[in-house]
Structure formats: C-alpha cells, structure tokens
Amino acid sequence: MIRLVGIEKDYVMGGEVVPALREVNLHIPKGSFVAIMGPSGSGKSTLMNILGCLDRPTRGQYFLDGEDVSDLSDDELAGIRNRKIGFVFQSFNLLHHSTAAENVALPLVYAGAENQHARALEALRKVQLDHRADHRPSELSGGQRQRVAIARAIITDPPILFADEPTGNLDSKTSDEILGIFEGLYRSGSTIVMVTHERDVAEHAARIITFRDGRLLSDETLEKPARAGSGGAP
Amino acid sequence: MTVKARFRLLIQLARIALRSLAQRKTRTALTMLGVIIGVGAVIVMVSIGEGAKQSVSSRIKGLGTNLLAVRPGFARKGPVRAASVQTLVVEDADAIAKEVKNVAAVSPEIGQSTQVKYLSQNTSTSVVGVTPSWLTVNNFVVKEGRFLDELDERTSRKVAVLGNTVVNELFGGERAVNQTVKIRGVNFQVVGTLEGKGAGGMRDPDDQVLIPLSTARTRLFGTDVLRTLNVQISSEDAMDRAQGEIEDLLRMRHKIAAGAPSDFSIGSQKDLLDTASQVSDTFTALLAAVAAVSLLVGGIGIMNIMLVSVTERTREIGIRKAIGARSRDILFQFLVESVVLSGIGGLLGVGAGVGGSRIVGMVGSWQTTVAPGAITLAFGVAMGIGVFFGLYPAHKASKLDPIEALRHE
C-alpha cells in the first residue's frame, strides 16, 4: 500500500538547510494498523505530511497504492488526497458553518459525486452519529466532532486513513471510543496510519514505528495489540 | 472527472460562495453599497448628460427646419477679429431667391440693439427688420393680432410685432396690440405679438421687436447691410447642393477671387446640431468619468473585503485543500463571491440609477434621459470590476499552502 524509498526532507530556515527526515525506507502493506511515535521534532509530523500528500519529499520516492506520487503537481496531489486518503486531525478541522452531514460530504463535493447527502448519512451511521446529521460542530461534543471527522475521512472509501493525534484533544473515555472505531475499521480491512506520542494509544495498533531526529529508530510488531474497552465500529 | 461531475462541482462551489455571503450580511450589504452607488452615479450622470443633449437638439430643431443661415464674415486686422464686413446686403437675398434652386423662402434680417419705449416703460431689445417669410422660416406663431404682411413691406409702414419677452417688459399684463411704442423716437403701431419659445442658448428668441424690412432700411437704420440671411430649402436632400450654389453666387456677387476666403459663412442646422452634440457628448463623458471613479472605489472595496475574508478563512481553505480541493476550486469559490457582490450590486445600482434619474428629472431643472447603453455599460463595468478586483484575493486564497493554512488559528 505504502512504500517509501530513501525519503529525505530538508527545510530551509534563515538560509540554513535543516534536515527533517533522513533516509527513510518504509513499507506498510494493505490492511495494516500502524502507529508512528516519536517526540516533537522527531520528524513524525513531516513524515505524516508527506504520507498524506500535503507535502513533497526533497529526495526519494513515495509509492502510494502502486503510484509514484513524489513528483506530482499541487492539483494532482489534491486529487490523490481526495480519492485515496482520509484524514483525521487532532483538532477535528470541521467547517463551523456547515452541518455534520455537510462536513462529511465535503470530499464528495470536490469529487463531483452523486447522492452526496445519502452517502454522508451512511458514513455517519458507521460512526453511530446519523441522528446528529443536521447539527453544527459547535452543538456537538469533542468525541462527536471527531466521529464526524472520521465519517468524513471514510466517506470516499479511501485505501488509506491517516490520523494525526486523533485523541489528543479528548478525555480518556472518549479517546477509547475513538480508538474503538479505528480498531473496527482495521478489522473490516482498512489501512490506518496513526501518529501519536502516547505509548498506550500507540499500543492499539498492530505495529509501532518510532522516529528520532528524522530517522527511523525502531519498528516493532505487537503480538497482542490493546483493545478498546467499549464502543467500536459495528 | 466527467463533465457532469465537473458541472455539479461548480454548482456546489457557487452555492458555498453564496452561503458564505449570506452568513456575513452586514459586510455583504456594505460592500455592495459601494458598487450600487458607483453604478447608480454613472447612470444618473449619463442620464443628465443625455437629457441636456436632447433638450439642446430639440431647441435647435425648434428654430426651423431645412434652414441655412448666411452670416457676414469678419474683416481681419492681423490676429484681431474686427467688426463684421459690410458686404452682405439685401440685394444678395433677392439674388438667392431668384437664382438658387430649391429655395422655399428667404428671410433677410437688418437688426440693431435699441431702446424701445411704451409710455414710461422702456427696454433694451433687438429691433429687426424682416420680411413676412420670417414667421414661418423661424417657426414662430402669432399669439395676438397679425404678423407683418406684404403691404407693410411695400409701403414701409411703421408697424411692429413684439416678442413675448418684450410684451412682458413693456406691457406687463396689459394688451399690447394697437398700442404705440417708440423706437428711436419714432412711433410704431403694435399689430401683433408672438407666442414665446422660451429661453434657449445664449440669446432669448422672444426678446426682439420685428418691423418691416423696408421700414428698417429707409426709416430707422438707413442701411442695406444684413445681420443674418436665413434661407429655407424645400427639402433636406437639397441642402448640400443649395448651400454650394449660395456660396458660389455670393462669392461671385462679392467679387471674391478663386482661392481667397469668403467674406461670409453659411451654417446649417446640421452643423449646429453636430457642434452642440459634440459639446454635450464631452460633457456627458466628463460626468460619467467622475461617476466612474466611485465605481472604481466600489471595486477596491470588494477587493479589500475579499482580502479580509481570505485571511479570516485561511483555516477553512486549509481544510478544503486537505480534503481534495484543487487551487482552481478555491479560486472559483472566491471569485464567485466577488462577482456576486458586484453583480447584485450592479443590478441594484441600475435600479438606483434609473430611479435617481427620474427623481433628478422631476425635482431638478434638468431634463434627464436614461440611456439603455449607459445601463448596459455601467452594469458590464461593474461585473468586470468584480472579476478584476476579485481575482487577486481569490488567487491568494487558491495558492495557500494547506499545511500552513491548517496551522492558522
């Protein structure tokens, strides 16, 4: 599903070149649930931006779903994000003036798809929030907002889901619910990459990759990933 | 993406744009107001200009139709224009009547500015010796009594017909016909008065006293020199030819060598109309240009508010881009906002302009004419301004980096 070959990323700050990623090689097969860990400044956010096609690597190649996306134009990357990637952010990133259903349908708008509202309700049903479809984000709790965001991420059935600190703004009980949804999606075959700096959150994944100073530090596979106590996707 | 999907996307982007305008009602209304005032001002100003043009041209047409005006030229002494040359005389008028084809009437005028008295009232006016054809050539109508006739002319009678302004000056409300007025100490009997035409241009056509041409020549002014010689041509098509013939005839009579300038000038109403409409076109353009500045300011208002909007909505733009919006999708969404602002503003401005023109026409002393061309132009310019001034903010929005934009608070 994802293959990184010699990925490097440099930032230029004040005329000085600062390397953010160095010689990253990584393979994530289809149907994985991978957690990426590391302290701040380790390069995990940079990696996430590149994996999510929001940014391009300085050097190296990135194959997503069999396609080399390292050198695509901005608009081509936008198309890839729309069709192949679902994003879940720490701060939800919902549009305030739009209802839950409208937020969920947003990827379909840019795809010019049909039956947008019906499909949005369907996606909301998968996160058990279809009864709140006409509410605006300000009328929803943090956990509900994140479930709207997940529904938006999965509405196009993308081959891969990226979650950037999805539980960072939530209390532990709500975090558990959200992780349960990800587990459910994983069990039903989705490929999920989740960035977190909390070990107990990362342990819900089947594989934990740790970064430090822009390099891949460790790559461990868990025999028995943690399970969310309650909730979960149907 | 299929054409159908692309179309569906554009419709939805337009709807998103309309919704975000609706969410910021006060701001939208105020921004539109700039365009409304701009478009309205352009339309009102052009209407005033057009109205002025029409009233001037209807006045010129009111002077009489198919008319050629022959006037004496000016003798030149170096660069200074001196007194008019005294070569255009009554005999020229007779010659034109006899020899030029298609001449319907000839109306020579001998005139001077003179005091006219009635009892203790007196006024300074223009006393003009004319032939009976003057009335029809100049499109005047007798109000009371009669106009000068052939008998008056043949016998050089001391009779006068008064213009409306003169009647008001000398007689007030009293009846003028059959009274006696004194012109240069000579008694004249008033035989008629004329309907007023209303003041137009530099000279008041109602401020004159008409006496028989022969009386003016022999009894009052003792001269044959004409002030003006109006020639009425039988049809409009014959105007150019008649003008040429008159010119040739007068040059011959005045013994002007080939190549030398004429000592007279011939003007037609067409010339007068052309000059007048050139003047009022310039006037209209000037007014419209001043009004267009306010339209431009309205456009700058749109750009200003769109730039604020882009900054405020940086995060929204980031979310949209992360979810798959292309640069052109964002560009289109913001461009629709500015074009809708200017388009609806333009439409309301057309309404305001048309209404404003009517009100100015009713309240002010100007005649206004709403020109359809002005409406189309003002609206078109408003739309153009929406695109022009919307393009920069929309481009700025479309080029935002999604990572930066998502970090924006």
ipTM reported for the complex, 2 dp? 0.93
- Residue B232: partners with Cβ closer than 8 Å, 6 or more residues away: B64, B65, B66, B67, B68, B103, B104, B105, B106, B107, B133, B136, B137
Q: What is the residue type of B90? A: V
Judged against a pLDDT cut of 60, whether residue B63 lies above it is answered with: yes
CATH (domain of A146) = 3.40.50.300
Judged against a pLDDT cut of 70, whether residue B214 lies above it is answered with: yes
Q: What is the pLDDT of residue B236?
A: 77
Q: What is the pLDDT of residue A233?
A: 40
Nearest alpha carbon to residue B127 among B220, B200, B238: B220
Q: Would you say B178 and B188 are in contact if contact means Cβ atoms under 8 Å apart?
A: no
- The secondary structure of B342-396 as a DSSP string is HHHHHHHHHHHHHHHHHHHHHHSSS-----HHHHHHHHHHHHHHHHHHHHHHHHH
Q: What does the CA dihedral B284, B286, B292, B297 come to, rounded to 10 degrees? A: -150
* Residues from chain A contacting residue B329 (CB–CB below 8 Å): 110
Q: What is the residue type of B15? A: R
- A54/B9 touch (CB, cutoff 8 Å), yes or no: no
Instruction: State how many domains chain A has.
Output: 1
* Residues from chain B contacting residue A81 (CB–CB below 8 Å): 322-324
Higher-pLDDT residue of B198 and B359 is B359
What is the maximum alpha-carbon separation in chain B?
105
Least confident of A118-127, B63-72, B87-96, B97-106: B63-72
For A73, name the nearest residue in chain B, comparing CA atoms only. B326
Within a domain: A157: yes
Strands A207-212 vs A215-221: parallel, antiparallel or unpaired: antiparallel
Judged against a pLDDT cut of 90, whether residue A7 lies above it is answered with: yes
The 10s digit of each residue's pLDDT in A62-99 is 999 989 999 899 999 999 999 999 999 999 999 999 99
The residue range of the domain holding A101 is 28-56+71-221
For residues B307-321, average pLDDT = 95
Q: In this structure, what are the phi and psi dihedrals at residue A90, rounded to the nearest 5 degrees?
A: -60, -45
Q: What is the pLDDT of residue A231?
A: 41
Q: Residue A144's pLDDT band (boundaries 50, 70, 90)?
A: very high
Q: What is the pLDDT of residue A223?
A: 83
- B327/A112 touch (CB, cutoff 8 Å), yes or no: no
Least confident of A49-58, A139-148, B37-46, B52-61: B52-61
In angstroms, the separation between the Cα of residue A50 and the nearest Cα of chain B is: 11
Within a domain: A197: yes
Q: What is the pLDDT of residue B64?
A: 61
DSSP run (H or E) holding B77: strand B74-77
Q: What is the pLDDT of residue B365?
A: 73
Within a domain: A89: yes
pTM of the model: 0.75
- B323/A107 touch (CB, cutoff 8 Å), yes or no: yes
Within a domain: A210: yes
Substitution target from A50, A51, A54 for chain B, most B beta carbons within 10 A: A54
Q: What is the pLDDT of residue A20?
A: 92
Within a domain: A98: yes
For A86, name the nearest residue in chain B, comparing CA atoms only. B323
Q: What is the pLDDT of residue B202?
A: 61
Within a domain: A143: yes
Judged against a pLDDT cut of 80, whether residue A230 lies above it is answered with: no
**CA atoms of B356 and B318, how far apart (whole Å):** 45
Count interface pairs A-B at CB distance under 8 A: 71
Q: Tell whether the torsion through CA atoms of B278, B281, B282 and B283 is positive or negative.
A: positive
Judged against a pLDDT cut of 80, whether residue B15 lies above it is answered with: yes
- B7/A112 touch (CB, cutoff 8 Å), yes or no: yes
pLDDT exceeding 90 applies to what percent of chain B?
Answer: 56
Q: What is the pLDDT of residue B77?
A: 54
Higher-pLDDT residue of B35 and B55 is B35
Judged against a pLDDT cut of 50, whether residue B271 lies above it is answered with: yes
Within a domain: A1: no
Work out the number of other CB atoms within 10 angstroms of the CB of residue B43.
Answer: 29
In angstroms, the separation between the Cα of residue B389 and the nearest Cα of chain A is: 24
What angle, rounded to 10 degrees, do the helices at A142-154 and A172-187 form? 20
Substitution target from B315, B317, B323 for chain A, most A beta carbons within 10 A: B323
Q: Residue B258's pLDDT band (boundaries 50, 70, 90)?
A: confident
Within a domain: A230: no
